């Protein structure tokens, strides 16, 4: 029985007691003995009902109070932890104002991770965010935004874009010697040079996506935007890291920083002996390094490969890779294809060989993506731009040499 029902029963008992008293009063008499017993019983029952009503109402009030406190605690509780990749995908699809509390907190952590007081914050203040490493289910952000050069170079990653120097020295001409008894050690100082890294900002240009397409949850927005931005950035960065002039406007490309190894006799052809001369022009310490290899474009690789057709050599110079992802081999060294290298033509540097890890790439602050909400609002579209800050230098030019056409 709830409080309302008990109040109704108590009211009925009260009416019955009033009726008994009114009947006796109308007859100018006292309550009979039986009426007094009945009256006392009804009075005791309504008193018990009153106490029960109070208990039930107190319990109901307590339940309401606890429920309101629970709502308050729930409202003030910290938002559930959201994975960086999920927050980033939500940002791409909905923008910063469409994020819930947990997504907003995670995306701000990405912003903090990519901030650079000197430079990156200038981009970051406009809404750019660092791409999380585990953005894709299939490939890491590092692999997705990696140019051809970066796959073989030594890559240094820093959280900011402050310029810094790396020391370089070529000590291959110095050898150990037997020290005679009571003989002073001959002093052989190492000569160091400083190689400066000061990253350049590369932009992908705008990728425009319709809002109708973005609102479709079946559309894989992250893969679409990520692949487009990555391809654009990789093409631009790889060109700079290959043939950049190394001046105030571009990184030093690996070709630019290499030293001369062999000049071909012809302007429009190359021979196996000339490639072998290039191979042996590199000091053995670099030639036998774990990361030693050739680099050329597909056209040059084809020109060298066809030189072996019809030959009766027991050991062909050029051996194609036998499985997917395995590089071709030239004189037992891997051949890395870089389409930004020049094709065979007059005075062009067409082939590189050496310890390719002696080319250093500096990436500052990771990959950042900026979402433009208003620029294409009248077209019901949203724009995206990708940024990377990159510099590159050959640390030891004698470690990487080139073949140049006549």
**What is the per-residue pLDDT across 175-194, written as a single tens digit (0 to 9) for each?**
777 777 777 777 766 677 78
How large is the C-alpha radius of gyration of the chain? 41
Supply the DSSP string of 14-55, one letter for each residue. HHHHHHHHHHHHHTT-PPPHHHHHHHHHHHHHHHHHHHHHHH
How far is 330 from 316, CA to CA, in rounded Å? Answer: 9
Instruction: Tell me the mean pLDDT in the region 313-330.
Output: 84
Q: What's CA 55's distance to the chain center, in Å?
A: 61
Confidence of residue 69 (pLDDT cuts 50, 70, 90): confident
pLDDT surpassing 50 at residue 293:
yes
Is residue 42 in a domain? yes
Dihedral of CA 60/61/64/65: which sign? negative
Instruction: Tell me the mean pLDDT in the region 6-23.
Output: 88
* Backbone φ and ψ of 311, nearest 5°: -80, 155
- For residue 403, the 8-state DSSP code is E
What is residue 254's predicted lDDT score, i.e. its pLDDT? 97
What is residue 195's predicted lDDT score, i.e. its pLDDT? 87
Is residue 131 in a domain? no
pLDDT surpassing 90 at residue 35:
no
Q: Could you tell me if residue 210 is left (phi over 0), alpha (psi between -120 and 50 degrees) or otherwise beta?
A: beta
Is residue 307 in a domain? yes
Q: Which domain holds residue 45?
A: 3-76
pLDDT surpassing 70 at residue 75:
no
User: Which of 76, 91, 112 is where one domain is finished?
Assistant: 76
Is residue 202 in a domain? no
Confidence of residue 128 (pLDDT cuts 50, 70, 90): low
Instruction: Tell me the mean pLDDT in the region 123-140.
Output: 52
Is residue 56 in a domain? yes
pLDDT surpassing 70 at residue 296:
yes
What is residue 204's predicted lDDT score, i.e. its pLDDT? 92
What is residue 190's predicted lDDT score, i.e. its pLDDT? 66
Which residue did the predictor score with more confidence, 357 or 53? 357
Quick: pLDDT tens for 239-292: 999 999 999 999 999 999 999 999 999 999 999 999 999 999 999 999 999 999
Is residue 166 in a domain? no
Is residue 171 in a domain? no
What is residue 311's predicted lDDT score, i.e. its pLDDT? 63
Confidence of residue 154 (pLDDT cuts 50, 70, 90): very high
pLDDT surpassing 80 at residue 28:
yes
Is residue 224 in a domain? no
69 Cβ neighbours under 8 A, 6+ residues apart: none
How far is 276 from 406, CA to CA, in rounded Å? Answer: 17
pLDDT surpassing 70 at residue 46:
yes
Confidence of residue 203 (pLDDT cuts 50, 70, 90): very high
What is residue 122's predicted lDDT score, i.e. its pLDDT? 34
On whether the CB atoms of residues 172 and 285 are closer than 8 A, the answer is yes
Please tell me the total count of domains within the chain.
Answer: 2
User: Worst-scoring range by mean pLDDT, 27-41, 73-87, 208-222, 265-279?
Assistant: 73-87
pLDDT surpassing 50 at residue 363:
yes
296, with CB counted inside 10 A (0-12, 13-18, 19+), is buried
Which residue did the predictor score with more confidence, 124 or 14? 14
User: Which of 30, 51, 76 is where one domain is finished?
Assistant: 76
């Amino acid at each position: 029985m709830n409080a309302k029902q008990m109040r109704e029963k108590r009211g009925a008992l009260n009416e019955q007691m009033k009726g008994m008293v009114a009947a006796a009063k109308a007859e100018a008499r006292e309550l009979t003995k039986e009426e007094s017993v009945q009256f006392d019983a009804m009075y005791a029952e309504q008193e018990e009902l009153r106490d029960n009503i109070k208990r039930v109402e107190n319990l109901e009030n307590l339940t309401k109070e606890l429920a309101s406190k629970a709502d308050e605690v729930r409202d003030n509780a910290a938002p559930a932890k959201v994975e960086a990749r999920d927050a980033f995908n939500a940002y791409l699809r909905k923008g910063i104002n469409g994020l819930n509390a947990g997504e907003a907190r995670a995306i701000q952590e990405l912003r903090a991770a990519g901030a650079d007081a000197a430079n990156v914050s200038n981009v970051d203040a406009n809404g750019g965010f660092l791409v999380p490493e585990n953005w894709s289910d299939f490939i890491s952000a590092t692999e997705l935004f990696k140019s051809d050069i970066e796959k073989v170079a030594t890559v240094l990653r820093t959280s900011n874009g402050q310029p810094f120097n790396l020391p370089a020295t070529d000590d291959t001409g110095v050898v150990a010697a037997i020290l005679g008894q009571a003989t002073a050690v001959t002093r052989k100082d190492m000569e160091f040079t400083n190689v400066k890294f000061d990253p350049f900002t590369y932009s992908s240009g705008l990728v425009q996506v319709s809002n109708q397409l973005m609102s479709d949850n079946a559309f894989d927005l992250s893969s679409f935007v990520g692949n487009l931005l990555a391809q654009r950035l990789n093409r631009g960065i790889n060109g700079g890291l290959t043939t950049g002039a190394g001046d105030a406007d571009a990184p030093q490309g690996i070709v630019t920083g290499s030293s001369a190894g062999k000049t071909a006799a012809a302007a429009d052809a190359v021979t196996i002996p000339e490639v072998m001369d290039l191979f042996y022009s590199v000091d053995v310490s670099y030639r036998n390094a774990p990361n030693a290899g050739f680099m050329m474009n597909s056209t040059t690789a084809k020109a060298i490969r066809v030189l072996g057709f019809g030959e009766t050599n027991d050991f062909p110079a050029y051996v194609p890779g036998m499985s997917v992802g395995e590089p071709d081999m030239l004189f037992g060294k891997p051949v890395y294809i870089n389409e930004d290298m020049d094709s065979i033509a007059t005075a062009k540097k067409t082939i590189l060989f050496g310890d390719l890890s002696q080319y250093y790439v500096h990436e500052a602050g990771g990959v950042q993506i900026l979402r433009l909400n208003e620029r294409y609002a009248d077209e019901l579209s949203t724009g995206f731009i990708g940024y990377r800050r990159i510099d590159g230098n050959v640390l030891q030019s004698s470690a990487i040499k080139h073949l140049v056409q006549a």
